């Protein structure tokens, strides 16, 4: 049974149809990326999956006992409220020290437990939000533009960590991203949304599809070239001399 099965989903907000005819199945351990222009309904779909919104039509079936972890775009911190990372991870309910430490390690920041939230960089904050989602031991991890505001290096590092999380925990990942050229090597499948599913498939197939190009314009060709370049570079990495040349050109995207 799939982790999640969505058929002909329709979501209406404020009297307006935001999503229509959405079909989506998620299997264990898949990484699926949702792309789409602003206002295309990506966050609405995630919010419907976690149960924060009720569909107006169609079917949404979660596998019985499914646990979902959710990583939002950013963490809003009250500057008048000092709080350590460990304390934050113990809200709203207390966790064992081992569970907190394991979640921080899985998020790639085992050293952050005693730090003040306010002292963290944007990238570190996102890792803490990832750790908080991992505390739930999710079968499915949802990320809503979790790298917004991070630079190239921070974004690439974050997605590398996501791949590690999938490898180590086996959870499926559904993530919203505007940076298809960055996430495409991480994604098994891409779904392009514009209130309905415009196209879907492997990252390369979606990037090359007319529907995607109509939405995102001519820059998509550059993204595909970038992706191919990165793949070539990975193959070159087998040769130490070529790997050094590759590293000099690296934008910090590949593993
Ligand atoms: N509570 C609401 N009531 C009415 N309309 C809403 C509500 N929430 C969202 N919308 C509308 O639904 C549409 C889709 O919003 P959503 O946030 O899902 O898009 P998105 O693809 O995630 O956009 P972005 O890339 O800008 O984050 C938008 O036009 C938005 O204005």
pLDDT (tens digit per residue) in 133-171: 999 999 999 999 988 888 888 888 899 999 999 999 999
CB 43 near ligand 1, within 6 Å: yes
* Confidence label for 229 from pLDDT (cuts 50, 70 and 90): low
- pLDDT, residue 209, reads 87
pLDDT, mean of residues 118-143: 94
Q: Which of 36, 40, 192 to mutate to test the pocket of ligand 1 (most atoms within 8 A of CB)?
A: 40
Nearest CA owner, ligand 1 atom 7: 13
Distance from Cα 39 to the centre of ligand 1, integer Å: 5
Q: How many CB atoms lie within 10 A of CB 101?
A: 16
Task: State yes or no: pLDDT of 112 exceeds 50.
Answer: yes
- pLDDT, residue 174, reads 97
Task: State yes or no: pLDDT of 252 exceeds 50.
Answer: no
- pLDDT, residue 163, reads 93
**What are the pLDDT digits (tens) for 172-223?**
999 998 877 778 888 999 999 999 999 999 988 888 888 888 888 766 656 5
pLDDT, mean of residues 105-128: 93
Atom of ligand 1 nearest to the CA of 46: 18
CB 52 near ligand 1, within 6 Å: no
Distance from Cα 43 to the centre of ligand 1, integer Å: 7
Task: State yes or no: pLDDT of 26 exceeds 60.
Answer: yes
Distance from Cα 184 to the centre of ligand 1, integer Å: 24
Nearest CA owner, ligand 1 atom 1: 13
pLDDT, mean of residues 13-37: 95
CB 41 near ligand 1, within 6 Å: yes
Residue 78 burial (C-beta neighbours within 10 Å; 0-12, 13-18, 19+): exposed
CB contact set of 174 (below 8 Å; sequence gap of 6+): 26, 32, 33, 34, 46, 49, 140, 141, 142, 143
Distance from Cα 50 to the centre of ligand 1, integer Å: 16
- pLDDT, residue 124, reads 92
Q: Which pTM was predicted? A: 0.84
- pLDDT, residue 236, reads 52
- pLDDT, residue 195, reads 94
* Measured distance CA(50)–CA(2) in Å, rounded: 16
**What are the pLDDT digits (tens) for 66-97?**
999 999 887 777 777 889 999 999 998 999 99
Q: What is the chain's mean pLDDT, rounded?
A: 85
Angle at which helix 97-106 crosses helix 152-169, to 10 degrees, equals: 120
pLDDT, mean of residues 215-232: 60
Determine the length of the chain: 255
Cβ distance 156 to 179 under 8 Å?
no
Distance from Cα 46 to the centre of ligand 1, integer Å: 11
Atom of ligand 1 nearest to the CA of 193: 21
- pLDDT, residue 225, reads 55
CB contact set of 95 (below 8 Å; sequence gap of 6+): 89, 135
- pLDDT, residue 213, reads 85
Which tokens belong to 131?
A: 């750790």
CB 14 near ligand 1, within 6 Å: yes
Atom of ligand 1 nearest to the CA of 195: 14
ipTM of the complex: 0.96
* Measured distance CA(73)–CA(205) in Å, rounded: 27
Q: Which of 43, 45, 178, 192 to mutate to test the pocket of ligand 1 (most atoms within 8 A of CB)?
A: 43
* Measured distance CA(125)–CA(131) in Å, rounded: 10
- pLDDT, residue 184, reads 81
Distance from Cα 194 to the centre of ligand 1, integer Å: 11
- pLDDT, residue 7, reads 97
């Amino acid at each position: 049974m799939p982790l999640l099965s969505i058929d002909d989903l329709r979501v209406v907000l404020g009297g307006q149809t935001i999503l229509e005819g959405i079909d989506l199945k998620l299997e264990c351990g898949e990484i699926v990326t949702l792309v789409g222009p602003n206002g295309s309904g990506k966050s609405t779909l995630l919010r419907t999956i976690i149960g924060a919104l009720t569909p107006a039509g169609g079917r949404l079936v979660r596998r019985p006992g499914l646990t979902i972890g959710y990583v939002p775009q950013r963490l809003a911190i009250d500057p008048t409220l000092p709080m350590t990372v460990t304390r934050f991870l113990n809200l709203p309910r207390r966790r064992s020290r081992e569970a907190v430490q394991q979640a921080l390690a899985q998020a790639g920041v085992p050293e952050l437990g005693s730090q003040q939230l306010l002292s963290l960089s944007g990238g570190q904050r996102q890792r803490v939000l990832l750790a908080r989602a991992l505390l739930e031991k999710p079968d499915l991890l949802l990320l809503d533009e979790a790298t917004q505001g991070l630079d190239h290096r921070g974004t690439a590092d974050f997605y590398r960590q996501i791949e590690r999380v999938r490898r180590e925990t086996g959870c499926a990942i559904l993530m919203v991203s505007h940076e298809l050229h960055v996430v495409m090597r991480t994604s098994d499948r891409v779904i392009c949304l514009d209130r309905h599913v415009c196209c879907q498939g492997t990252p390369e197939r979606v990037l090359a599809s007319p529907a995607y190009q109509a939405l995102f314009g001519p820059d998509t060709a550059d993204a595909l070239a970038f992706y191919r370049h990165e793949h070539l570079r990975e193959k070159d990495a087998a040769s130490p001399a070529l790997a050094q040349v590759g590293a000099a050109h690296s934008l910090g995207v590949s593993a």
